[in-house]
Amino acid sequence: MDYQKTGLNSDRLSTPVKDLARALIPYRTPDQLRSVIEVAITVIPFFIMWAICWWAYSISYWLCLALTVPAGAFLVRLFLIQHDCGHGAFFKNRQINDWLGRILGVFTMTPYQVWKRSHALHHAGSGNLDKRGIGDISTLTVKEYKARSFWGRVAYHAYRNPITLFVIGPAYQFLLRNRLPQQYNGNSREYWISTMGTNLMIVLVAGVMMYFAGFGKFLAIQIPITLVASSVGVWLFYVQHQFETTQWDYEENWEVQDAAFHGSSHYDLPGILRWASANIGVHHVHHLNSKIPFYRLPQVLKDLPELTEVKRLTLMESFRCVKLHLWDENTRKLVTFAQARAMA
């Protein structure tokens, strides 16, 4: 591929993507004991934080709300363990991955089998302009945006508004939309069983918690935790693909490994945030080989240092991504609405 033509960071990548993909194969094997430890140091603190929120509720609800933030961070980490299970990356045994994913789906309010299929489609079509709409943030090209009617543009502006993307959207997705199955031309019976089974277990677990904590107190604690986790989760997903030098192509020019690597960012977060987000910021490596357990991704960067700077975004730089809304096929970059209006 002509990196100069595409505007990619050719000066930062000396190894062809296909060679990088082969170099990542040895990192795929999970460490069974490490996986168990990662589950323990996430599940146990999550329930401890929930109990502390319950205790703080009787002192001050504002204190309780403040504590739902770290509790939400542990819930994000639970979702990312579920994420690795969906890729078959967390344990060697597929059934252990799937059953752990199903159990965690009760707490993340995400039916495992439905999400697993949706996310697989996301990986299979990431960066493909002909396969948008499943498991990703809806993104128009500049040409498509300009071809829309006035009200069509208004609707897209409303959808891409940060309040919609990071507050309303996540709440709708995890609290409401996940309660009914989404079908992806597969076994609809399987998706119904996954969704309704998850819903049933949510009701049972919530019922037990309400019995001990009280109906109102349970909702006053659990809903903020879920909202914090869902908003953070969507933000992470957004930044990993919605950055200026991401990559999109139509089917005829699209290549799966190239799109996976160059269409995903390296979200270089501070240490505590990197731990809480289970290294999901090393997304360019994850998309190139999704079978690598998250706890092995730092070792990849250490062993292959040229991957550290490719598509790198710092925390402060990432906030500018909120203004990027449209893919410009001419400059091959994500641009703002203002930039799109200024284009001839």
Question: What is the per-residue pLDDT for 184?
Answer: 64
- What per-residue confidence (pLDDT) applies to 10? 38
Q: Tell me the two tokens of residue 310.
A: 């490719």
Q: What is the pLDDT of residue 114?
A: 93
**CB burial class (10 A; 0-12, 13-18, 19+) of residue 42?**
buried
Q: What's the pLDDT at 136? A: 82
Helix (H, G, I), strand (E, B) or coil at 128: strand
CA distance 296 to 216: 41
Question: Which residue is associated with the tokens 């089998």?
Answer: 113
Residues 117/191, Cβ–Cβ less than 8 Å: yes
Q: Return per-residue pLDDT of the chain as tens, 344 residues.
A: 333 333 334 335 667 888 899 999 999 999 999 999 999 999 999 999 999 999 999 999 999 999 999 999 999 999 999 999 999 999 999 999 999 999 999 999 999 999 999 999 999 999 999 988 777 899 999 999 999 999 999 999 999 999 999 999 999 999 999 999 876 655 688 899 999 999 999 999 999 999 998 999 999 999 999 999 999 999 999 999 999 999 999 999 999 999 999 999 999 999 999 999 999 999 999 999 999 999 999 999 999 998 998 999 999 999 999 999 999 999 999 999 999 988 86
Plot region of 181 (φ>0 → left; ψ -120 to 50 → alpha; else → beta): beta
Which position has the token pair 């959207």? 169
Q: How many domains does the structure of the chain reveal?
A: 1
Give the pLDDT confidence score for residue 185 in this predicted structure. Answer: 57
Inter-residue contact 153 to 326 (CB < 8 Å)? no
Q: Which residues contact 306 (CB under 8 A, 6 or more apart)?
A: 12, 13, 14, 15
Question: b vs e for 72-81, b when ≥16 Cβ sit within 10 Å of the residue's Cβ?
Answer: bbbbbbbbbb
- By the 8 A CB rule, do 312 and 265 touch? yes
Q: Say if residues 206 and 218 touch (Cβ distance below 8 Å).
A: yes
Domain of 55 in residue numbering reads as 3-342
pLDDT of residue 11: 37
Q: Give residue 183's pLDDT.
A: 67
pTM: 0.91
Cβ proximity of 89 and 31 under 8 Å: no
pLDDT at residue 4, as a whole number: 33
Contact 109, 102 (CB under 8 A): no
Report in angstroms the alpha-carbon separations of 244 from 78, 102, 228.
29, 35, 26
User: Sign of dihedral through CA atoms 193, 215, 230, 137?
Assistant: positive
